[in-house]
Chains A and B, each alone.
Chain A
């Protein structure tokens, strides 16, 4: 295999890995702030993609406007699901299993309501920078969308880092993640933190969907697989770690690419399960995690 093919495969892996990383990050943000694993995150990715297509193709909005609008819609839906469904259970002190079930229900509702309302036909969004590949060398191509994905994901991670490390609100959320009781005692607004977490999680996942939409068709059932893989990426990187989310996403994508080239691309989707199992067997804390912070 010549180096150009390898680089080409790396480009593809980093692209897919970035999307996994975004999903993993969305899990991390909500998990750290609330202790809840939001099963509906994969569906938020799907909703982002579908909303994007609907606004771009249906409402003919200019791309930047559509981008922001789609993210806002999904963030809103995410917060709504938390308010209506999660909050009452948490207030009641319901066991974790009830939360898991209810979020599974939300996942089903998002998925199939979207199918009902927006139809079953997969649709592509227009690529904001066109689909003409850029030639780096005589046989090395890269799509503008790929570069766009790299940049956007890097931006998102930077923004999250900035939020948690350099803003007051972000530090509030971080504190809740470290010790919720203590945070409550020092007067942190827990409601606000939860709303922010769900909004941010939904938004990040939606961005992933929007980035994917020009490359793979948006359909109502597209959310499950990325949702599962985002979780696996989070476990690889270390549950609760944003850096881990990025690392985990890339590692998972690399492993999938390897598997696809040596086995068959049809099984690439299934490899995530084996990776998850291996990680849980040998290093459940992940790359970045220590068992003290992970495994909530």
Chain B
């Protein structure tokens, strides 16, 4: 538990340039690498592994929603496809893993492009409802098309990944997850530091202003959507080879709401905030235990409260308290007057 807080604050501290930041980062990395040695309880390790997968999901959600300002409600769909794709291709069609995974990811990118092109050239709620409809369709298909998906039973007995004769399971697989998380974080950081990332942020602030400076708004929106879809699918792939079993509940809308919630609470438009929100909410399910299956009610209420009173999330609160230099953590997605958001929030 203390480690989680260290990780969170150290990741946030990476925003600070200078030796202190890098030193903290190296320490965090060492700690992360040592986790399977420090934590021997398999149940706890499984929770941490799941947390890693969730971080990939929330970071990719932050990419499309926090940075580009487009609300997609089909995140669980891409996650589910990423999980089911290799499962189906490998167990039912006998494909090798190095073919099944890229094909699945390409499929998700294709779906994102096909859905994105007509919807992203229209107002914000079109994507929201279209992805909602897509999520509904996907759920129907995965539950009903039993021959393909195994219906309620899902797909079981997937073979684990084997490297040099050793199957990657349990503690070994932790490193696969850690590697994936770090890769995704690195990718996201580089992306956002590039021209593409700046285009995303510009689009978030104002479609018309972005277009006025020559940014191909539709192109970048679809790009953001496709990238986030592929990353969500990656999380699904990582999940499949960890649990070796996929079930239709992965496609549920509640999952999407959960990730939305984590990103919102942590700080929309801030990668560090997203990670903090994910870890925090991922490690405290007990808080919601007493409401039972109506936890979504709590989400809804807190979501309303956050949007009304804390639009910048936890990271925004921390920034205001002087704990962080604002830097790229400019969570201005929900700040009033999109076009008028202060420029100091960025860069």
Which residues in A have some Cβ–Cβ distance to B below 8 Å?
A: 37, 39, 85, 88-89, 92-98, 100-102, 104-109, 111-113, 115-116, 224-225, 228, 231-232, 264, 266-267, 269-270, 272-274, 276-277, 280-281, 284, 295-296
Contacts and interface: CB of A to CB of B under 8 A. Distances in A.
A296 B337 CA distance: 18
A122 to B, nearest CB: 16
A106 B129 contact: no
B118 A280 contact: yes
Interface in B41-58: none
A281 B118 contact: yes
Interface string B188-225: 00000000000000000000000000000000000000
- Interface class of chain A by DSSP: helix
B130 interface: yes
Interface of B: 69, 71, 114-115, 117-119, 122-126, 128-130, 132-134, 136-138, 140-141, 144, 253, 257, 260, 264, 294, 296-297, 299-301, 303-304, 307-308, 311, 333-338, 340
A232 B232 CA distance: 26
Contacts of A295: 122-123
B301 A277 contact: no
Contacts of B253: 224
Contacts of B124: 96-97, 100
Given A273-B136, A276-B130, 13 more contacts: A94-B337, A95-B336, A98-B307, A100-B125, A102-B307, A105-B304, A106-B304, A112-B300, A115-B294, A115-B297, A267-B140, A269-B140, A270-B140
A148 to B, nearest CB: 28
28 contacts: A37-B129, A39-B125, A94-B334, A95-B333, A100-B128, A101-B260, A101-B264, A102-B307, A105-B301, A107-B300, A108-B296, A108-B300, A109-B297, A109-B300, A109-B301, A112-B294, A112-B297, A116-B297, A228-B132, A264-B144, A266-B144, A270-B140, A272-B136, A273-B130, A273-B133, A274-B137, A276-B130, A280-B122
